[in-house]
Amino acid sequence: MPNFYKIFLSFLLLAAIISCKNEPKKSVETKAASKKEQSIKYAKGFEIKTFEGYKTITLKNPWPGTEKTFKYALVEKNGSLPNNESFDAVVKIPVKRIVVTSTTHIPSLEMLNETEALVGFPNLNYISSEKTRERISEGKITELGRNEDINTEILINLKPDAVIGFAVDGNNSTFATIEKTGIPVLYNSDWTETSPLGKAEWIKFFGALFNKEEEADSIFKLIETEYLSAKKIASEAKKTPTVISGAMYKDVWYMPQGESWGAKFIADANGDYLWKDSKGTGGLSLSLESVLNEGHNAEVWIGPGQFTSLNEMKSADQAYTQFAAFKTGNVYSYSLKKGETGGVIYFELAPNRPDLVLKDLIKILHPELYPNHELYFFDKIQ
């Protein structure tokens, strides 16, 4: 595979909520028999259906805590729709010019060989991909400002065929302004998925936009195969090391809940995450005392926040030195590998390449199972 650009392994994990479709949108589907429904095996947040001359993407979990759904129509050249008003956005495909707003979208464009279509992005310094950074340096991708305050005037002048956004709630005035100009805005909620393979499956969302469903499906199947193969290898380990995660911020220790994305990685790597029985897909907020009581003998420490050295941890709080994993030096960080412009690369590639994340964790927890594997995202901090 080409250079994949190492990322910050985030534990931003929120609940997946399957929403109900509204009746007006259902009525459209009854007027035209679906030719094909693309198989979505792991992702909970979207579905794709193909009709004569157009496709639909139904977004079922745009942000946590809502029952709202969105339906987008992707219209082929010379295709037509039964009723345009039934869709939240209508896009002509294949898309030729696109604006995306999250670094997690960049790898999908690259794997589909559609980097040339990207014309704008908010805060270009966050992008770590060498291939995309080269296009930035050539002036081919325009800076759009901050994500929460996109420069709509510049964006409109770029004349994109679609803008791919994300939202933590339904109050985004910037996207509303863009939509009023006639530029379609489509939400992408890959970040709400809690399954490692569920996040990666969002490449199929972009595949539909570029008429590259077969390519997207093929790429995902390779990732899925590698992930499941690695998981099987990990299951054969003779020992299951105990694992602690996270670090303190302002006297509160944050770590992933037991049903979260990060916790699932540890489980699939055959690690015993000491908070695996906690309920929820987000994060835990704990006291130092409770973490020390439960996890002081943990054998491995995965993801100690933004710390990049043991001395830095010790200087921040002497309590860290009381953990067995600290004493033995078995502390592994995702914060050391950065892009050219200094961004920690966690938000870019790991959601798209869970197979690489899992192999790293297996290497950390069971080095004998992957003797020749070099850590891709993680580093053992010194």
How far apart, in whole angstroms, are the C-alpha atoms of residue 57 and residue 74?
8
How far apart, in whole angstroms, are the C-alpha atoms of residue 266 and residue 188?
26
10 Å CB burial of residue 250 (0-12, 13-18, 19+) is exposed
* Domain 238-380 bears CATH identifier 3.40.50.1980: yes
Q: Tell me the CA distances in angstroms from 372 to 104, 301, 357, one per residue in order.
A: 28, 22, 15
pLDDT, tens only, 70-128: 999 999 999 989 876 689 999 999 999 999 999 999 999 999 999 999 999 999 999 99
Per-domain residue ranges of the chain: 23-223, 238-380
Let me know: does 47 contact 40? Beta carbons within 8 Å: yes
pLDDT, tens only, 133-175: 999 999 999 999 987 789 999 999 999 999 999 988 877 788 9
Percent of the chain at pLDDT exceeding 90: 76
Residue 214 confidence (pLDDT) above 70 = yes
Please report the pLDDT score of residue 201 as a whole number.
98
How far apart, in whole angstroms, are the C-alpha atoms of residue 92 and residue 73?
8
Please report the pLDDT score of residue 150 as a whole number.
92
Please report the pLDDT score of residue 339 as a whole number.
86
Q: Return the beta strands (E) in 76-159 as ranges.
A: 89-92, 98-100, 118-121, 142-143, 145-146, 149-150
Q: What is the pTM of this model?
A: 0.87
Q: Which of 121-130, 339-348, 365-374 has the lowest mean pLDDT?
A: 339-348
Please report the pLDDT score of residue 5 as a whole number.
36
Residue 7 confidence (pLDDT) above 60 = no
**CATH class of residue range 23-223:** alpha beta
Compute φ and ψ for 245, nearest 5 degrees. Answer: -145, 165
Q: Which of 13-27, 51-65, 238-252, 360-374 has the lowest mean pLDDT?
A: 13-27
CA–centroid distance for 229 within its chain: 21
Identical fold at 23-223 and 238-380? yes
